[in-house]
Homo-oligomer: A and B are copies of this chain.
Amino acid sequence: MDRIKPRTLSGFMELLPQKQAKLERMMQILRQTYALYGFAPLDTPAIEDAQILLAKGGGETEKQIYRFQKGDSDLALRFDLTVPLAKYVALHYNELAFPFRRYQISKVYRGERAQRGRFREFYQADIDIIGDGKLDILNEAEIPAIIYRVFRGFGLTRFQIRVNNRKILNGFYSMLGLTEKNGDIMRTVDKLDKIGAEKVAAILTEDCGLSQAQAAEILRFISIRGTNAQVLSALESYLGRDELFDLGFGELTAVTKNLAAFGVPEENFAVDLTIARGLDYYTGTVYETTLLDHPEIGSVCSGGRYDNLAGYYTDKALPGVGISIGLTRLFYVLDEQGLLNPALSGAPADALVLPMTQDSAPAIALAEQLRSKGIRIQLYGEQKKFKQKMSYADKLGVPYTVLLGEDELAAGKCSVKNMTTGEQVTLSPEDAGAYILTGLAGNNGPLILEK
């Protein structure tokens, strides 16, 4: 037979079982946390009408999108989960209850230039809350509180959710008479972390046409630092000069206060006036999240408040707030930095049951009994030498093996071997189950280890 060399496309993550188990654990934490906050799981198609996905149009998206014909249809793969959400809410408006809260953890597709750590197929894990006409500011505090729970669930403590408000920025630019340039200014300021203050000032004066005084005023503003209380207090000196600014200040104050009520410690969130998010889309609170020991990664979770989710599809005003975790990239980075807890088992089973007699029936019954207690059991039926069986157990990484030979059968017992310590005990099936469960419970470390 002519054989084809098997390969996986570059830019597409395909994990070995042990690693996949850890990614699945992250997804499970995401699903559980999102559900705990009353978000409904949503699952839109990966393929949509290309016209609908590209309603907004615009450069990078059009270039990166996977678009193709099938019959007469002009199709494309989704490149994010926001556009499909907008379509969904516009399409099913009459059948949904608002505020509508949904989470979606799905793959999206972007045919970017292949590059280490860049993926063409990757998971996004999004939450959004969509209002009908209005949406209370309380939601803008809840979103980062949920992200705090997710990251703590992963085992992370050294992260910071940075919060700002676009109304404050727009209001401030309006005070300087720079409203028409605020898009350019924000995109420039957004690069502060990457290029530094000096270059930002240079771009503002040379490319955006600001005066030296205006640029200096902006740099002074975004250099306001300190505790959240100190930053808010510094902002008070600007109050009364611009309505939008004052509105934004009220929102940022409310979000800060409520985030504390949600139990998010001050060390895990920071009011940061340099956060702007490049997109015009955002109109209020904006978020970025950084791993404090890995600032080079940039934001691993970003989002914000927007006024008009689905303007391309409906005349209904649908304001919302949302945040997105680039899960595949986050996982890749955590793995590369060696932060995935190696002590946490990625084995597909908690125990391997090894029948040592001709008749498999007693081993099958034992396996079923242990499974009924929630223990993940693999039954190993292959005719191999004992040494090969144990070497298989080692390769899988199962924490326990359960042996059932003639002696054990005669005594109504089974032998349980702890594969880490080598310790072996002979127990009744009932006690064996309890023994394994106790051992597994002590084995439950965090998913991520911070160094």
Residues in A lying within 8 Å of B, measured CB to CB: 1, 3-9, 12-17, 20-21, 23-24, 35-49, 51-52, 55, 66-71, 73, 75, 86-88, 90-92, 95-97, 99, 101-102, 107, 109, 111, 120-121, 131, 134-139, 142, 257-258, 261-263, 310-315, 348-349, 352, 360-361, 364-365, 368, 371, 374-383, 392, 395-396
Count chain B CB atoms within 10 A of each CB in A20, A38, A314 and give the residue with the most: A38
In the complex, the answer to whether A257 meets B361 with C-beta atoms within 8 Å is yes
Task: Let me know if B377 and A6 touch, CB within 8 A.
Answer: no
Q: Is the CB of B47 within 8 A of A14?
A: no
Checking B20, B90, B261, B381 against A43 with a beta-carbon cut-off of 8 angstroms, the contacting residue is B20
Question: How near does chain B come to A225, taking the closest CB pair, in angstroms?
Answer: 27
Number of copies: 2
Q: A17-B102, A258-B360 are in contact. List 7 more A-B contacts (CB 8 A).
A: A6-B52, A7-B91, A14-B45, A14-B88, A20-B43, A99-B382, A134-B383
Cα A24 to Cα B99 in complex, Å, equals 21
Are B379 and A138 closer than 8 Å at their CB atoms? yes
Given contacts A101-B348, A361-B258, contact A3 B38 (CB under 8 A): no
**In the assembled complex, which residues on chain B have CB atoms less than 8 Å from the CB atom of A121?**
45-47
A68 and B71 contacting across the interface, CB-CB below 8 Å: no
Chain B min CB distance to A355 (Å): 8
Please tell me if the beta carbons of A4 and B136 are within 8 angstroms of each other in the complex.
no
Contacts A14-B88, A102-B17, A258-B364 hold; do A39 and B348 have CB atoms under 8 A apart? yes
12 residue pairs from A and B, CB less than 8 Å apart: A3-B313, A6-B90, A21-B40, A23-B43, A24-B41, A35-B348, A37-B379, A66-B68, A66-B75, A97-B392, A142-B381, A261-B364
Inter-chain CA distance A258–B358, complex, in Å, is 13
* A45 & B12 in contact (Cβ 8 Å cutoff): yes
Report B-chain residues with C-beta under 8 Å of the C-beta of A15: 43
User: Which B residues touch A7, using CB under 8 A?
Assistant: 49, 52, 87, 91
Whether the pair A87, B8 counts as a contact (CB closer than 8 A) is yes
CB neighbours of A379 from chain B (8 A):
37-38, 138, 142
Chain B residues closer than 8 Å to A37, beta-carbon distance: 371, 376-379
Q: Which of B40, B91, B352 is A20 in contact with, Cβ under 8 Å?
A: B40
For A139, the chain B residues whose CB sits under 8 A away are: 381
Closest to A346 in B: B40
